[in-house]
Amino acid sequence: MQNSYVYILLCSDNTFYVGVTSDVHQRLIEHQEGKHFGSYTYSRRPLILVYYCDFTDINLAISFEKKIKKWSKAKKQALIDGRFEDLPNLAKKNFKK
């Protein structure tokens, strides 16, 4: 059974990129080398791998990736920092008044 990984990259413009892959280290190399011209990370290099977790079920990995992509930057940062107790209280979006 092959593992799948959900990962978060910190981009040079201080944004996060969330992805899913079967080989997180090879995928990071591809991002760093700019293998996919025009992709989100292409013009935001260099990149730093700041988080990853593994799944034995690709469908669960894809579901988790989609969930994280909707999270606010603060909530993603809490996940990266391991502040799991803060996750429920962080909003998906910051709405300006």
Number of separate domains in the chain = 1
Structure tokens at 29: 């190399």
Range of the domain at 32: 4-89
Has residue 96 been placed in a domain?
A: no
Has residue 21 been placed in a domain?
A: yes
Has residue 95 been placed in a domain?
A: no
Has residue 94 been placed in a domain?
A: no
Has residue 75 been placed in a domain?
A: yes
Q: Per residue in 27-75, pLDDT tens? A: 999 999 999 999 999 999 999 999 999 999 999 999 999 999 999 999 9
CATH of the domain at 82: 3.40.1440.10
- pLDDT (mean) for 13-35: 97
Q: Count Cα neighbours of 95 within 13 Å in the Cβ-side half-sphere.
A: 3
**Would you give the DSSP letter of residue 87?**
G
What does pTM read for this prediction? 0.90
Has residue 80 been placed in a domain?
A: yes
Rounded to an integer, what distance in angstroms lies between the CA atom of residue 37 and that of residue 9? 17
Has residue 67 been placed in a domain?
A: yes
User: Is the peptide bond preceding residue 88 cis, with omega within 30 degrees of 0?
Assistant: no
pLDDT value of position 93:
55
pLDDT value of position 50:
98
Q: Is the pLDDT of residue 1 over 90?
A: no
Has residue 97 been placed in a domain?
A: no
